[in-house]
Structure 1
Amino acid sequence: MALVSLALFQPEIPANTGTLMRLSACLSVPVHVIGPTGFSMDDRALRRAGMDYRDKALTHVHVDFDAFCTANAWTAPRLILMTTRATMPYTDFSFQKSDMIVMGRETSGAPDWLHERADARLTIPMAESARSLNMAVSAALVIGEALRQTNDFPQTKPQTAELDQSGTGSHHP
């Protein structure tokens, strides 16, 4: 079964990558790290942000974009590039289960050749005075919408507590 996936193109900030590895573990979303990165995959900030979720993350590391394409050739996913240079809001896009959502570098985004290669270019609507969101926050917004549309959120855990009429809460086994 194909899953919505996330690709980080040459990420530069280890804390963002670690945060997205945690997102991968929590939401069962594969994350592809496309090098070269601006840090070592053993970086302390990466470990701190990913916490103990790093081992549970569905992480694939590729030395460069060609290696990423070779590794994913059998699935032929649509490349959905998130960029401030797009005009279509991600909320107006119809995601498919096999989509690969691509995030560019934190400082410079994606190069022109990657814009041309993308099957779709999407943006996040923001206030006029804003320039951009943090890359990890942006990815989480878009992954959430893609999972909602494709009905691929992981099963939720049963509730263990309910509020009683006083609002204090009562726990159930």
Structure 2
Amino acid sequence: MNEIKEISSLQNPLVKKILMLKEKSRERKKSGLFILEGQRELELALKGGYEVDTLLFHNALITKEAILQITSHLKYAVNLISVSKEVYQKIAYRETTEGLMAIINSKSHGLDELGLKGNPLILVAEAPEKPGNIGALLRTADAANLDAVIIANPKGDIYNPNIIRSSVGCIFTNQIATGSTSEVLNFLKSKNIDMYCAALTASGSYTNVNFKKAAAIVVGTEATGLTQEWLENSTQNIIIPMRGEIDSMNVSVSAAIVIFEALRQRGF
């Protein structure tokens, strides 16, 4: 049985480390660790093959027995730490929470590590900046059971706590890779995957595209769209016809519309 330690001081070095991991991308990359909160998120991370370094819990919100049950099937030792109310309030994101936080070992997300089979359908997002949008894209990808999500020219690391929170754990249920635009383009070409790029110019309606072959649906930022490099290499630019005054929607909404049209065509 894992020994359970206790922390009650806000000055404890581990408390300071957790705050650094929450706030600093550089610290997450340097240590290879990140923070998650919540039992559902932890269960999804474990199901996705992530390894837990430390579990912290506040026993007024979750019992020691529940923590031991969560860790009972793991084949490696986990640091278990009971924290005081003051410490938990300091390190937690949410006021309404299950009393559980974890320090998790991150994974690498190289393009060559993607396991693509058969006739893949992929979402590519170029340089997404807002954690809420990234989280929503990951939720859409999970709902559609896409083969992979690729982030081209990432502006930060995917283990930003706001991305984990807004994705409701779907960061752990998707195959995710990152790379520069050039690297992603070369990867897709090497796999003979067609690229359908959301763009306002030289575009045809997304409903007129045949998504039945291996395909990547490529979206850019709401502010600037896709870079010229994507538009020059696109199999076909696509657009969602608008009936109102504006010419674009939230990127996650647009992606969802196109993704589920692709699934419709594929008979899902």
Q: Same fold (TM over 0.5)?
A: yes
CA contact (8 A) 2:188 2:194 kept: no
The aligned residue for residue 22 of structure 1 is: 139
CA contact (8 A) 2:144 2:259 kept: no
Unaligned runs of 5+ in 1: 154-173
CA contact (8 A) 2:222 2:248 kept: no
One-letter amino acid matched to 2:177: H
CA contact (8 A) 1:7 1:34 kept: yes
Q: Distance in 1 between matches of 2:126 and 2:149?
A: 11
The aligned residue for residue 160 of structure 1 is: none
Root-mean-square deviation (Å): 1.7
The aligned residue for residue 132 of structure 1 is: 248
Structure 2 counterparts to residues 1-173 of structure 1, below 5 A: 1-29=118-146, 30-35=148-153, 37-62=154-179, 64-151=180-267, 153=268
CA contact (8 A) 2:132 2:162 kept: yes
Give the C-alpha shift of residue 127 in structure 1: 1.8
One-letter amino acid matched to 2:254: S
One-letter amino acid matched to 1:13: K
Going by fraction, where is strand more abundant, 1 or 2?
A: 2
Give the C-alpha shift of residue 70 in structure 1: 4.0
CA contact (8 A) 1:13 1:39 kept: no
SS at structure 2 position matched to 1:56: coil
Q: How many residues align?
A: 150
One-letter amino acid matched to 1:34: A
SS at structure 1 position matched to 2:238: strand
Unaligned runs of 5+ in 2: 1-117
Which structure would you say has the larger Rg? 2
One-letter amino acid matched to 2:182: D
TM-score computed with the length of structure 1 as normaliser: 0.79
Q: Distance in 1 between matches of 2:207 and 2:189?
A: 27
TM-score computed with the length of structure 2 as normaliser: 0.52
Q: Distance in 1 between matches of 2:234 and 2:196?
A: 6
Give the C-alpha shift of residue 34 in structure 1: 0.8
Higher normalized contact order (CA 8 Å, seq sep 6+, divided by chain length): 1
Q: Which moved more, 1:141-150 or 1:21-30?
A: 21-30
CA contact (8 A) 2:125 2:150 kept: yes
One-letter amino acid matched to 1:23: T
SS at structure 2 position matched to 1:133: coil
